[in-house]
């Protein structure tokens, strides 16, 4: 840049300053308004949206789908799409290093690449078009980041084709077109470049729309992570009921195992005793559960050792054991398993039966256990499965389920026991039996609304 | 009384000069887009302030990181607010810094005599992204753990140097306590120190050359 141009620029700037404002208070005022606005926005976000907390890191759970911060999503998606390109797609570092590296280099050296002294956008069509395309690609790639790149099945995967075209082909061609025009047509290229940018952007948006419309509906895993202590204790108790009760009993007091194949009569230290709770630290306890006591007959539960539980889940169990049994910890108020029923109120599957079943029945009534194929994981299973099912019939007090939980075994024609009392080793508390009774007698409503419709006066005040 | 105090301070600090040189400057006619730079600065300071509070309870070890965050969210008075601001502030800062860059690009404010301001700006953008990347791992939750695994893997795909970069980032072949310690150190010491230093130079250059004016047909 020669001295002449520099002088023109400085003179123009001086003239602009004459017409301008003062930094204090004019400019500062606007700065303060915007910063304050952002601060209020942050307060609102922190208060009303909060922070979503995924479960604790678990190096053994490789099935977890990694998801970076949202502002890196477009790069992830770009990598995934790039990997689809035949041959070139196998050379990973072109997409991970060369292309982003080149983009950053161009951005850094921009003042030395675009050397013309012109600042008005009418005279800078190429740079502005490139930037516009870049931003549109970033936004569209971010929007489709969560949609699988391939479907994993045969057949036409429309969303896959649409995203390859919209995320890779169109922007690629448009960039190419811009540069060819800029270097061959020189000054006359303005219109062509503007149209290329506009058309490419519209196409990208359209194909993104198509991708979103044709995206396979993925079942959002609404796995709520318990964050408060009472929730963690409840989660731990549920997990304990499923995995540990058969050997250690529901209060951890078992000292001689009964009714477990292969371990009949095995002696163990009650795990609710001070001997165990005072001598084993939290992290040692997590290890015991994760690794089990294979020599003594307790199998490993941690995913790292082939079990089913994640680190967080094991954490919750330990938390539950501490607060429920260790006298050095004070149990915080924990939400009751199910909201108490008012007179005439009908319980529903969602609100009452599901948590009860999870706590008292699921440990045996799930796949892989001995239970006459009576699975109790879902509403439909409870209603229809089982070798002697259906085990519940609307309004029938003689339903198998109701008889067995009230201590009446089911006998076959020869008078031999076909189904024992449920749960086998202990009697349910009277109020839980009452919930089951009311539920079956009212016709087994699934949702809270259905149950409310069946309730007889006095109408209950809704329990949260 | 106040007058006296002011004169005393002015004699030693030069408050009057500061006012004349820093605040009472002419500026070209302003534009709301020009507030984004100072908004970035505000968010940087806010992140610093909330971040310092978070380090009071945060423990950078795989065994305790997650629990210490849970503790901050549930048991520390206003912990949820501080963490909430820091969490959302990080996203907002990336967004605001990026839009600030786009506005500087569109008005071509990076041209003579502001080339260096831009160069340092790019450094600021990369450092801001680096803050986001290192900060994301600190709560040590599943999402962060696996995203960082993949993220560092990508850095490891650089030809020839990849192996070295990967080990330098992770402190070993896999993510471990060492990785967390490294990211923590980068997130609270190295990157913010660099950022603060570069912001200082950035601001010096802006005061030296003045804010550029909005380009018109002549420019
Ligand atoms: C932590 C991040 C950053 C902070 C705190 C910051 C701060 C500021 C401030 C306060 C201004 C003056 C007000 C304004 O024009 O908005 C400014 C101007 C400027 N910034 Fe930044 N900035 C940051 C990042 C960037 C980035 C990423 C770039 C470009 C790559 C950049 C390039 C510039 C340029 C060239 C100017 C001069 C603009 C003009 O004179 O019109 N800055 N910055």
Domains with residue ranges and CATH for chain B: 36-209 (1.20.810.10)
Is B34 near ligand 1, meaning CB less than 6 Å away?
Answer: yes
CA A388 to chain centre: 37
For A24, the closest of B23, B42, B139 (CB atoms) is B23
Dihedrals φ, ψ of A462, to 5°? -60, 130
**Is the per-residue pLDDT at A22 higher than 60?**
yes
**Is the per-residue pLDDT at A222 higher than 60?**
no
Task: Say how many domains are in chain A.
Answer: 3
Residue A27 covered by a domain = no
Strand partners, A309: A302
Whether residues A303 and A411 share a domain: the answer is no
Whether residues A184 and A234 share a domain: the answer is no
Residue A461 covered by a domain = no
Residue A439 covered by a domain = yes
Whether residues A198 and A291 share a domain: the answer is no
**Is the per-residue pLDDT at A384 higher than 80?**
yes
Top mean pLDDT of A65-69, A334-338, B71-75 is at B71-75
Query: Which one has a higher pLDDT value, B44 or A147?
Result: B44
Q: Please report which confidence band the pLDDT of residue A360 belongs to, taking 50, 70 and 90 as the band edges.
A: confident
A184-201 pLDDT tens trace: 877 677 888 899 999 999
Residue A58 covered by a domain = no
B163 close contact with A: CB closer than 8 A? no
Give B37 Cα–ligand 1 centroid separation in angstroms: 5
Contact A24 B150 (CB under 8 A): no
> Which residues span the domain enclosing A428?
349-454
Residue range A358-385: average pLDDT?
83
Whether residues A364 and A444 share a domain: the answer is yes
Whether residues A359 and A285 share a domain: the answer is no
Whether residues A233 and A308 share a domain: the answer is yes
Tens of each residue's pLDDT in chain B, 219 residues: 889 999 998 889 888 888 877 888 888 887 899 999 999 999 999 999 999 999 999 999 998 999 899 899 988 999 999 999 999 999 999 999 999 999 999 999 999 889 999 999 999 999 999 999 999 999 999 888 989 998 898 888 888 888 899 999 998 888 899 999 999 999 999 999 999 999 999 999 999 998 999 898 877
Which residue, of A213, A247, A279, is where some domain finishes? Answer: A213
Specify the pLDDT at position A306.
Answer: 77
Whether residues A146 and A247 share a domain: the answer is no
Given the CA of residue B123, which atom of ligand 1 is nearest to it?
Answer: 27
**Stated length of chain B:** 219
B96-144 pLDDT tens trace: 999 999 999 999 999 988 999 999 999 999 999 999 999 999 999 988 8
Residue A366 covered by a domain = yes
- CATH code (residue A263): 1.10.760.10
Residues 6+ apart with CB under 8 A from A87: none
Whether residues A83 and A209 share a domain: the answer is yes
Residue A242 covered by a domain = yes
Nearest CA in chain B to A232: B70
Whether residues A244 and A172 share a domain: the answer is no
Smallest CA–CA separation between B218 and chain A, in Å? 8
Q: pTM here?
A: 0.71
For A22, the closest of B26, B81, B111 (CB atoms) is B26
B159 vs A contacts (CB less than 8 Å):
93, 97
Residue A111 covered by a domain = yes
Question: How many CB pairs lie under 8 A apart between chains A and B?
Answer: 235
Whether residues A385 and A279 share a domain: the answer is no
Q: Which helix (H) or strand (E) holds A207?
A: helix A190-214
Q: What is the mean pLDDT of chain A?
A: 84
Whether residues A206 and A75 share a domain: the answer is yes
Residue range A313-331: average pLDDT?
88
Dist CA B149 CA A232 (whole Å): 27
Q: Please report which confidence band the pLDDT of residue A224 belongs to, taking 50, 70 and 90 as the band edges.
A: low
DSSP A248-313: H-TTS--SB--S-TTTTT-B---TTSHHHHHHS-HHHHHHHHHH-BTTTTBPP-BGGGT-SB-HHH
A397-428 pLDDT tens trace: 888 888 888 888 888 878 787 888 888 777 78
Whether residues A74 and A203 share a domain: the answer is yes
Contact A38 B39 (CB under 8 A): yes
Specify the pLDDT at position B101.
Answer: 97
Residue A274 covered by a domain = yes
């Amino acid at each position: 840049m020669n001295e002449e141009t520099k002088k023109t620029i400085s003179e123009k700037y001086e003239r602009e300053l004459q017409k301008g404002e003062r930094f204090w208070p004019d400019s500062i005022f606007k700065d303060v308004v915007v910063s304050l606005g952002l601060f209020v926005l942050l307060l609102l976000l922190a208060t009303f949206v909060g922070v979503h907390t995924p479960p604790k890191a678990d190096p053994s759970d490789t099935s977890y789908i990694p998801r970076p911060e949202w502002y890196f999503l477009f790069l992830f998606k770009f990598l995934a799409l790039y990997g689809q390109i035949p041959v070139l797609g196998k050379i990973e570092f072109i997409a991970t290093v060369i292309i982003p590296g080149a983009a950053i280099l161009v951005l850094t050296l921009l003042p030395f690449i675009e050397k013309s002294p012109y600042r008005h956008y009418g005279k800078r069509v190429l740079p502005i078009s490139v930037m516009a395309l870049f931003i549109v690609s970033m936004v569209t790639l971010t929007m489709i980041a969560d949609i699988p790149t391939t479907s994993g099945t045969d057949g036409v995967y429309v969303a896959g084709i649409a995203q390859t075209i919209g995320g890779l082909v169109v922007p690629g061609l448009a960039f190419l077109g811009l540069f060819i025009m800029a270097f061959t047509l020189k000054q006359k290229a303005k219109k062509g470049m503007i149209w290329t940018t506009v058309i490419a952007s519209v196409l990208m948006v359209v194909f993104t729309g198509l991708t979103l419309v044709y995206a396979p509906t993925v079942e959002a895993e609404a796995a709520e992570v318990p964050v408060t202590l009472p929730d963690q204790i409840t989660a731990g108790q549920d997990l304990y009921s499923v995995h540990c009760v058969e050997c250690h009993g529901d209060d951890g007091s078992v000292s001689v195992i009964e009714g477990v194949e292969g371990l009949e009569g095995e002696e163990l230290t009650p795990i609710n005793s001070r001997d165990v709770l005072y001598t084993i630290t939290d992290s040692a306890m997590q290890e015991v559960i994760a690794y089990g006591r294979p020599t003594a007959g307790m199998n490993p539960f941690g995913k790292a050792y082939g079990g089913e539980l994640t680190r967080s889940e094991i954490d919750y169990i330990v938390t539950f054991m501490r607060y429920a049994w260790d006298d050095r910890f004070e149990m915080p108020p924990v939400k009751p398993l199910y909201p108490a029923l008012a007179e005439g109120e009908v319980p529903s599957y969602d609100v009452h039966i599901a948590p009860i079943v999870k706590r008292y029945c699921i440990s045996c009534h799930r796949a892989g256990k001995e239970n006459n194929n009576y699975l109790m994981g879902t509403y439909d299973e409870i209603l229809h499965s089982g070798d002697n099912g259906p085990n519940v019939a609307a309004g029938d007090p003689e339903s198998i389920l109701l008889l067995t939980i009230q201590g009446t075994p089911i006998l076959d024609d020869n008078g031999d026991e076909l189904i024992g009392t449920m749960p086998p080793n202990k009697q349910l508390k009277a109020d839980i039996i009452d919930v089951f009774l009311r539920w079956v007698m009212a016709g087994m409503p699934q949702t809270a609304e259905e149950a409310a419709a069946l309730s007889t006066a006095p109408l209950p005040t809704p329990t949260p | 009384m106040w007058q006296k105090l002011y004169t005393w301070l002015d004699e030693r600090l030069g408050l009057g000069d500061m006012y004349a040189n820093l605040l009472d400057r002419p500026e070209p006619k302003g534009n709301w887009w020009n507030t984004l730079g100072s908004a970035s600065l505000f968010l940087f300071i806010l992140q610093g302030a909330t971040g310092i509070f978070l380090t009071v309870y945060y423990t950078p070890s795989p065994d305790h990181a997650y629990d210490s965050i849970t503790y901050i969210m549930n048991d520390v008075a206003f912990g949820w607010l501080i963490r909430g601001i820091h969490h959302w502030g990080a996203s907002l800062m990336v967004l605001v810094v990026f839009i600030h860059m786009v506005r500087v690009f569109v008005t071509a404010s990076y041209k003579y005599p502001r080339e260096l301001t831009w160069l340092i700006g790019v450094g600021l953008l990369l450092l801001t992204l680096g803050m986001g990347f290192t900060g994301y791992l600190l709560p040590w939750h599943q999402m962060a753990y696996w995203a960082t695994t993949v993220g560092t893997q990508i850095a490891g795909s650089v030809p020839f140097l990849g192996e070295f970069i990967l080990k330098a980032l992770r402190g070993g072949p896999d993510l471990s306590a060492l990785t967390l310690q490294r990211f923590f150190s980068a997130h609270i010491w190295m990157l913010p120190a660099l950022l603060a230093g570069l912001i200082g130079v950035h601001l010096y250059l802006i005061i030296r050359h003045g804010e550029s004016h909005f380009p018109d047909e002549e420019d």
